[in-house]
Amino acid sequence: MLRLPVRVGCEAARATALRGAHGGSMLALVRTVQHSARPSQSVPQQPQRMADMPLRPEFFTPTNKALLPTAQSIVGKYVPATDDPMYVQVLPHEPAPAPSHGAPPGYVPVKPMTPSRLLRVYRQLSKSRLTFLVVLSGMMGYSLCPAALAAPTALPPVVQLLALAGGITLCSTAANALNQIVEAPYDAQMARTKARPLPRRALSPAHAFGVATASAVSGVTLLAALTNPLTAALGALNIALYAFMYTPMKRHTIANTWIGAVVGALPPLMGWATCTGTLHHATDACGWILGGILFAWQFPHFNALSHAMGNEYARGGFRMMAVTNPALNRRVAFRYALALIPLCSVALPLTGTVEPWPYALLSLVPNVLFALYAGRFWYRPSEGSARRCFWLSLFHLPAVMVLAMACKKEMWDRLRAPPAT
């Protein structure tokens, strides 16, 4: 064990040695000597090094003067070579420190990066859970598109769907990696994000930028080659909005939340555009409504999270509604939770993509429940109500998507059709 040679440490070491060697009498003797050797406080003197304050024989009585050589030898063992607090001294009974090749004390070498560890770091860099929801919403846009509206293509639908999922995954990875590169100094200040790869030095910024560049180029190229140019353009727009608008705006204005909601609304449009190749016809209304559902869902989801993490965002210097205007943060979350009810129960059934009445009624269950939790978060704000609203949002979005797929009109028309003779 290494000890810094501060005075308190030396006094404790001396006391321990003297008590163990000759009992309490020797300890009392040395303390008497040290106390008597201190200069008077009324006479200012220059500070002395501990090694320059020897035991003085004139303070020993005739009865205990025989103990002077023993006391000098014991105390001399524990006098440090210097009073410099940065100097590390090894005590006589302790082993010498192993050479550290110039590394500072306490240095822990980084474990070698195995393929499995590197894959785990890449998952963290891509925010795999968020990316999964993004891919799921994009695939929903493709799957809800009726076959009658699908653009002619030489590729099977399954290949297009897999290309869409792969392209969205790569674009989302690129956007999230660029986001973490920019925010690494601020993520290190927040408990929720300080374990991300860049703050904990699992990857270098150059390595992360290489991953982001490779993902962006390959994702956009994959979408352009196997889907269509419109979907590839939306993928590139997603990266640009998230990395170069939303990320820097987080430290300047609360409008960043609306930009982030636009980013979240693009994947369903990408899925719809992969199927139809267009977004400007009246028959493309379903794709826009799906995007509107994702846009509205972002606010109760993220505002509830930012309320629970408000102190963390403030520590990181992010200008979120939960930090600058908590009341507005709660009102916006409740408003958009209410907006999900007409979007799902009125607007989407009117497009003819889903069975009108079944979906309108079934979607009321998750939407009304979501609105109740968001309303409780607005009316009785607390960390508990915010967390419950956030966790319900993670159930709400998949529920709405699965119900839309289960109520797809084209599928039910095929089931109701009489068998071919």
User: Domain 115-253 is in which class?
Assistant: mainly alpha
Task: Give yes or no for a contact between 146 and 405, defined as CB atoms under 8 angstroms apart.
Answer: no
Residue 209 corresponds to which tokens in the numbers above? Answer: 């930028």
Model pLDDT, residue 335:
97
Model pLDDT, residue 246:
96
Residues in Cβ contact with 68 at an 8 Å cutoff, skipping those fewer than 6 apart: 55, 57, 60
Per-10-residue mean pLDDT of the chain, 421 residues long, equals 43 46 45 45 47 50 61 62 56 52 64 87 94 94 92 91 97 97 91 89 93 97 96 97 95 94 96 95 95 96 91 87 93 97 96 94 96 95 93 94 94 82 62
Positive or negative, the CA dihedral 187, 192, 198, 199 is positive
Domain ranges of the chain: 115-253, 281-420
Residues in Cβ contact with 215 at an 8 Å cutoff, skipping those fewer than 6 apart: 126, 170, 171, 173, 174, 177
Element (H, E) at 401: helix 383-406
Backbone angles phi and psi of 3, in degrees to 5: -130, 135
The alpha carbon of 332 is separated from its chain's Cα centroid by a whole number of angstroms, namely 24
Backbone angles phi and psi of 408, in degrees to 5: -60, 125
Residues in Cβ contact with 408 at an 8 Å cutoff, skipping those fewer than 6 apart: 143, 144, 353, 354, 355
What angle separates helix 229-241 from helix 157-187, to the nearest 10 degrees?
10
* Phi-psi label, residue 102: left if phi above 0, alpha if psi -120 to 50, beta otherwise: left
Model pLDDT, residue 204:
92
Residue 314 corresponds to which tokens in the numbers above? Answer: 């403030």
What span, in angstroms and rounded, lies between the C-alpha atoms of 88 and 170?
Answer: 51
Buried b (16+ CB within 10 A) or exposed e, 1-34: eeeebeeeebeebbeebbeeebeeebbebbeebe
Model pLDDT, residue 22:
46
Maximum Cα interatomic distance, the chain, rounded to a whole number of Å: 128
Cα–Cα distance list, 339 to 82, 298, 356, 380 (Å): 73, 12, 18, 20
Closest C-alpha to 294, from 325, 270, 271, 262: 262
What span, in angstroms and rounded, lies between the C-alpha atoms of 11 and 160?
Answer: 77
Element (H, E) at 132: helix 128-144
Model pLDDT, residue 312:
85
The reply to whether the predicted model has a pTM over 0.85 is no
What span, in angstroms and rounded, lies between the C-alpha atoms of 189 and 376?
Answer: 31
